[in-house]
Amino acid sequence: MNRRRCAIAAITAVCALTVLVAPGAAFAAPLAPAAPSAGPLPRAPEPPDRGREGGDRSLEEVRMEIEGLYHQAVSATDAYNLAKEEAERQSGEIARLAQRIDKGEDRIKELKDRAGATARAQYQGGGLPAEAQLMLTDDPRLFLDGVDRVKQGMKATRDLLRELDRAQADLRAYARDAGAQWQTLESNRLRQNEAKKKITEKITAAEKLEKRLAKKERARLLELEREAAAKAQAEWLESRDRRRADDARTDASPDGGAGGRDGKATAGGAKAVEFASAQLGKPYSWGAEGPGSYDCSGLTSQAWAAAGRNIPRTSQEQWRQLPRVAVGDLRPGDLIIYHADASHVGLYIGDGSIVHAPRPGRDVTVAGAGSMKILGVVRPDR
């Protein structure tokens, strides 16, 4: 009965996943098979101090604070997505263990039935062990035949007992594993809840800060955001073109093509670009993988899924697991990872541009590849 309860508990754990992914509850690759870690990534920076308000603060300071809050929300979204992905894996493992527990209990019942049949056969033989019955025979041929049968019977009994012990040990191991997976599932659920809380707090704080601005100030804020992105993009393009010119002179760029231009997209890369471009104008929504809305890594993972290549769900896992290439060797379909904590990702479409889902309150859009701080580039189909 105890083992049967273990199986029921494990199956119940699988049902609990419905609660984890229900709207309004903790929901969220990521996640993956557990990836070899390159060490912990830096945390998202805290926004500037809010000590001064209104006229005592420049609009640029307000912009930086809002940007910091949204950056932290996006970082927490990556943690949320990874916890969701891991929780889904754990629930799948619990389901497999529950099936093994059921099969193990059925096997033990079968082995016990066979052992019972052997015991009944002995009882029907007069209650004497086979060895005793053998010694009482007067017929030499029966004696020799009996010796062989006794040996076979003893071996079969030993094999049966060994198999029964093995099945019972497997069942205990399955029950232990199911318990451990359940504990991990609970841990992931708590991580999801914590990430969800942080996302909500940061977005709410940013929205409140933005709403305190007058209409003209909000318009100017958007203008400052565009100016900062344009400046960063111009600096990046200048640096890129300089590197490519150097590479062209030394013929050092393996994929850049003549004159250091972008490399040619593969068939998969072209499909990923086509999918991502078709999502332009759809809203950012944390934890979303389409079709109506996306977060940054939801967009890139779905773009490559449309190209027939499954990649990790989160930008941090995309950075950890996918093959890296030099920034100077970009080709359409590559993923550009941003910020020191790898908390943002965009899909390169060529000519120095990306398609990405920027942040809460923004839509999927085209942006300059260098408009944010680049951490590196990964290539899903390398």
- Maximum distance among all alpha carbons in the chain? 117
Look up residue 294 and give its two tokens.
Answer: 């996306």
Look up residue 351 and give its two tokens.
Answer: 């000519």
Phi/psi for 367 (5° steps) reads -140, 165
Round to whole Å and give the CA distance between 201 and 177.
Answer: 36
Do the beta carbons of residue 204 and residue 74 sit within 8 Å?
Answer: no
Written as one string, the DSSP assignment of 169-197 is HHHHHHHHHHHHHHHHHHHHHHHHHHHHH
Phi/psi for 365 (5° steps) reads -150, 170
**DSSP-derived 3-state class of residue 87:** helix
CB atoms near residue 321 (< 10 Å): 17
Round to whole Å and give the CA distance between 346 and 335.
Answer: 6
Round to whole Å and give the CA distance between 132 and 293.
Answer: 80
Strand order from edge to edge, sheet including 374-378: 324-325, 374-378, 335-338, 344-350, 353-356, 365-368
Question: CB under 8 Å to 177, separation ≥6 — which residues?
Answer: 93, 97
Residue numbers annotated as active site: 296, 344, 356
Do the beta carbons of residue 291 and residue 339 sit within 8 Å?
Answer: no
| Residue carrying the six token digits 């060529």 | 350
Look up residue 245 and give its two tokens.
Answer: 């010119």
Do the beta carbons of residue 348 and residue 336 sit within 8 Å?
Answer: yes
**DSSP-derived 3-state class of residue 335:** strand
Round to whole Å and give the CA distance between 277 and 263.
Answer: 19
Look up residue 314 and give its two tokens.
Answer: 């989160």
Round to whole Å and give the CA distance between 101 and 347.
Answer: 44
